[in-house]
A and B are shown apart, each in its own frame.
Chain A
């Protein structure tokens, strides 16, 4: 993996990821994540569901970022990501993170055609005529934020901009699907940071496996991308967005 790809995967890359717990905060509130053991079970479940979906989408976006210029592909991939995210709270979290990542990545790699095309596709979306316009209106009626691209799509295009291939894009996506929740858990449960990192170290082989499974979808039709769901993550995300006190956005 290139240094440019490491930069993208680094939590210090200014894309706002620290504001999201990936469902750990509501799980701590619900009492289902309490310690290192329950955290590890949470991470394994998250990795093979949300992590696999993100890895597949990121790999697909990375594969096509250099070759696809027009909006239809990015709109199709956006619709596929929406269809894999039934929870409005999670769609919103993904789009907010995607918007922040797109801003940072466009400053880092201003010439990247994939990032430019995604930004143009997002700008063209609200108020557009034709198919999908009714959808935008009804989403506006329920107040859902649609002003950003899905995070995994931007991540894939940014990886391509950083000179990385679909395999590396999938690896960053799968790693981030569990690394962010670990640092959130350290803060929320006052866990020993070294032992928490030890949990992550034990998961690295599984992260690689999930990334490889996701990367295998890079060249296929977006409709075939993995769609593994995690019911508890959906339920927790919806409870969290309605909670009175929140440290993390999601």
Chain B
């Protein structure tokens, strides 16, 4: 769907949704798989893929994706390729809103390719997740400021997750490739790629081990020897949350290193 912008350009507003439910034989069915260009969903044996039906997102685009996973159902969502956020003529921000709910015993893996925010572009990814007690989640977010050799635009990521009615994670990141404070030692520390991997109830999803135990061990021994790591800027940490989840957070100079760092122990 397109709507007329104040300046005359047609802005894209599109929404897509997928709903997964568990069948009586333990398999997962998708009673709802609704696409709207440019948010096109394709079902494959491995995952539901979000394939870009158009270039962009472009500044001013407003995209919403809604994912519901029912009790005992399992769903994996991926994107076919990195998305490159490009500036519109009017300087507006492009926004992707992701709204997720997972019922008890359900599991969602949302593992998109990174968002690359081109020079002068402004893009926001706003994620809201409601997890029932006993739901499990694996959710990745990767943002790169700029294509190769380019100072990036502005990226805003917001991640709001509740578990069993309690706040589990409220996490936003706002950075800009031409802003010294963003690139400075408190935020990106000179890196152009930042990402997180959130795992909730990973043990309940069959990774094994006691809840909390594997992550506690991993937190005590992060990548690299503790003393050596302290001498250089640390680039990855495994953070056990106060609630039933683990956040892996990483910085990198390129997408490949970032992906390598965003791994569960």
Contact = CB atoms under 8 A, between A and B. Distances in A.
Interface of A: 23, 26-27, 29-33, 38, 41-46, 48-49, 79-80, 82-88, 91, 131-132, 135, 138-139, 141-144, 223, 225-236, 238-240, 242-244
B174 interface: yes
A46 B158 CA distance: 18
Interface string B152-189: 00000010110010111111111000001111111111
A24 to B, nearest CB: 9
B56 interface: no
B249 A48 contact: no
A26 to B, nearest CB: 7
A45 B234 contact: no
Contacts of A243: 226-227, 230
B216 interface: yes
A184 B171 CA distance: 27
Given A32-B190, A46-B186, A87 B222 contact: no
B212 interface: yes
Contacts of A45: 181-182, 184-187
B181 A234 contact: no
Contacts of B181: 41, 44-45, 48
Contact of B171 (A79, A132, A227, A236): A227
B167 A80 contact: yes
Interface of B: 158, 160-161, 164, 166-174, 180-190, 194, 211-213, 215-216, 219, 222, 226-227, 229-237, 239-244, 247, 249-251
Task: Name the prevailing secondary structure of the A interface residues.
Answer: helix
Nearest to B158: A227
B240 A142 contact: yes
B233 A32 contact: yes
A83 B230 contact: no
Contact of B186 (A79, A225, A232, A244): A232
Contacts of B250: 231
Contacts, number: 168
Contact of A242 (B186, B226, B247, B249): B226
7 smallest CB-CB distances across A and B, nearest first, come from: A45-B186, A41-B184, A32-B185, A227-B170, A44-B181, A142-B216, A82-B242
Classify the secondary structure of B's interface with A: mixed
A239 B173 CA distance: 21
Nearest to A235: B234
B186 A233 contact: yes
Nearest to B163: A83
A161 B213 CA distance: 41
A239 B169 contact: no
A32 B187 CA distance: 11
Given A231-B250, A239-B230, 4 more contacts: A41-B180, A80-B167, A80-B170, A143-B216
B189 A32 contact: yes
A84 B222 CA distance: 22
12 contacts: A41-B181, A42-B186, A44-B184, A45-B185, A80-B170, A88-B219, A135-B242, A223-B170, A226-B172, A232-B233, A239-B234, A242-B226
A234 B249 contact: yes
Max chain A C-beta neighbours (<10 A), residue from B186, B194, B236: B186
A87 to B, nearest CB: 5
Given A83-B242, A88-B219, A231-B251, A27 B185 contact: yes
A143 B220 CA distance: 11
A214 to B, nearest CB: 14
Contacts of A86: 169, 171, 239, 241, 247, 249
Contact of A88 (B174, B182, B239): B239
Contacts of A242: 222, 226, 229-230
Nearest to B159: A227
A91 B242 contact: yes
Contacts of B241: 82-83, 86
A42 B184 contact: yes
Contacts of A82: 167, 241-243
B164 A138 contact: no
Contact of B189 (A144, A229, A232): A232
A135 B171 contact: no
A49 B185 CA distance: 13
